[in-house]
C-alpha cells in the first residue's frame, strides 16, 4: 500500500490503522496540501509515524496546491496545525528527498506485486503521478480513494472536500482507466464515533488514547456541522482494503463537475447512462460493526 494523505485528524487515525493492521504493508506515505498547508501536512505525517515508531516508512512531500486555483484548506475543522492542537513529539526523521511523485514511482517499480494506492486527500499527487509516469499504471492494483458523494457534500451543498479541493485532478483520476473504489460520504458518514467506541479506544493504551483525542478534537472544534459522533472518514477507506465487504458498493459512472456552484460534485449514475461506461465501484453503505472491529484490532496491535 501507498498512502497519500493531508493530515488532518482523520488522516492521522487512518495512518494509525494502516500501520497497525498486520494485513497491510505500507511502502510509502506521501503528503499533499489539503486540510492544511503542505508544510503542515508533511510535518503531521512525520510526527504520527514517529509516534508509532515507524521511521522505516518514507514520507514524500508533494503538491502545495491544486492543479488550478488556490488552496482552500479546512482549518476550521482540523485546527490551525491540522491536528486539533494535540501536541505530539517532534519527528525523529525527515521527508524523503525524492518528493511524493518520485517516491510513489520508485515504490511502484520496486514492489514485487502491484500496489494499492490509497488516496485520502485531494487527488493532486495521484494525477501528477499518472501524468508523469503513465508506464507505471500496470503497477497499480487499484486506487481506493476517500472522496465524493452521491448526495449532499460536506464543504458545499454539492461537493465533498477532497474532490472539491481539486476537481481537475479528480476528473483525471476517474478517467485514468484504473480500477477505482470511491469511498465517499455515503459510506463514511456511517462511521461516527459514539461514546462507547471512544471509551474502547481509551482502553487501548497510549495509541488508543491518541486516536480518541484525535476524534475528540473534531468534537471540540465543532466538526462538520457540529456532529456529536464525528465520522472517521479516511480510516474507512483504509479499513475496506483489509475487509472489502464492509463497504457496500455499486458499479457506476462517476463524472466530476468542474465549474459553477456544483464545482467538485461527483455525478454518479448506473452503467450505460448516456452511453458512458462505468469507471468506479462506489460506496453506498458501511458495515459499521466490521469497521470498528478492524480499527480496534489495529490499535490494539499498535499498543502491543
Catalytic residues: 233
CA-closest candidate to residue 228, choices 215, 237, 213:
215
Q: Are 187 and 285 in contact (CB under 8 A)?
A: yes
Task: State whether the Cα torsion 192-194-199-203 is positive or negative.
Answer: negative
Q: Are 229 and 215 in contact (CB under 8 A)?
A: no
CA-closest candidate to residue 39, choices 4, 7, 85:
7
DSSP H/E element including 71: none
Instruction: Compute how many other C-beta atoms are within 10 angstroms of the C-beta atom of residue 260.
Output: 8
d(CA 220, CA 233): 17
CA-closest candidate to residue 213, choices 161, 205, 59:
205
Lookup result for grid cell 474502547: 200
Q: CA dist 279 to 172, 178, 268, Å?
A: 12, 8, 10
Q: CA dist 274 to 251, 270, 280, Å?
A: 15, 10, 16
Q: Are 183 and 247 in contact (CB under 8 A)?
A: yes
Q: Are 82 and 45 in contact (CB under 8 A)?
A: no
SS3 97: coil
Amino acid at each position: 500500500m501507498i498512502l497519500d494523505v493531508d493530515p488532518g485528524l482523520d488522516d492521522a487515525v487512518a495512518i494509525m490503522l494502516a500501520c497497525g493492521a498486520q494485513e497491510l504493508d505500507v511502502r510509502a506515505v506521501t503528503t499533499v496540501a489539503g486540510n492544511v498547508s503542505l508544510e503542515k501536512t508533511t510535518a503531521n505525517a512525520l510526527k504520527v509515524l514517529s509516534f508509532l515508531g515507524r521511521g522505516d516508512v518514507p514520507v514524500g512531500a508533494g503538491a502545495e496546491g491544486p492543479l488550478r486555483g488556490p488552496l482552500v484548506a479546512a482549518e476550521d475543522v482540523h485546527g490551525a496545525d491540522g491536528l486539533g492542537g494535540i501536541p505530539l513529539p517532534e519527528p525523529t526523521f525527515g521527508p524523503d528527498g525524492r518528493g511524493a511523485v518520485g517516491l510513489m514511482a520508485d515504490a511502484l517499480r520496486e514492489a514485487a506485486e502491484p500496489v494499492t494506492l490509497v488516496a485520502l486527500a485531494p487527488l493532486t499527487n495521484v494525477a501528477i503521478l499518472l501524468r508523469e509516469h503513465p508506464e507505471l499504471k500496470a503497477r497499480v492494483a487499484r486506487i481506493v480513494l476517500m472522496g465524493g458523494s452521491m448526495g449532499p457534500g460536506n464543504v458545499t451543498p454539492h461537493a465533498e472536500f477532497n474532490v472539491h479541493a481539486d476537481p481537475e485532478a479528480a476528473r483525471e483520476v476517474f478517467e485514468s482507466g484504473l480500477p477505482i473504489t470511491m469511498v465517499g460520504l455515503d459510506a463514511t458518514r456511517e462511521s461516527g464515533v459514539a461514546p462507547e467506541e471512544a471509551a474502547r479506544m481509551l482502553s487501548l493504551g497510549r495509541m488508543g488514547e491518541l486516536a480518541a483525542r484525535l476524534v475528540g478534537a473534531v468534537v471540540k472544534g465543532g466538526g462538520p456541522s457540529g456532529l456529536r459522533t464525528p465520522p472517521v472518514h479516511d480510516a474507512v477507506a483504509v479499513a475496506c482494503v483489509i475487509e472489502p465487504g464492509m463497504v457496500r458498493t455499486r458499479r457506476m459512472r462517476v463524472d466530476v463537475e468542474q465549474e459553477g456552484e456544483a464545482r467538485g460534485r461527483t455525478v454518479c449514475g448506473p452503467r450505460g447512462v448516456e452511453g458512458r461506461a462505468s469507471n468506479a465501484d462506489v460506496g453506498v453503505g458501511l458495515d459499521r460493526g466490521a469497521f470498528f472491529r478492524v480499527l480496534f484490532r489495529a490499535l490494539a496491535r499498535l499498543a502491543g
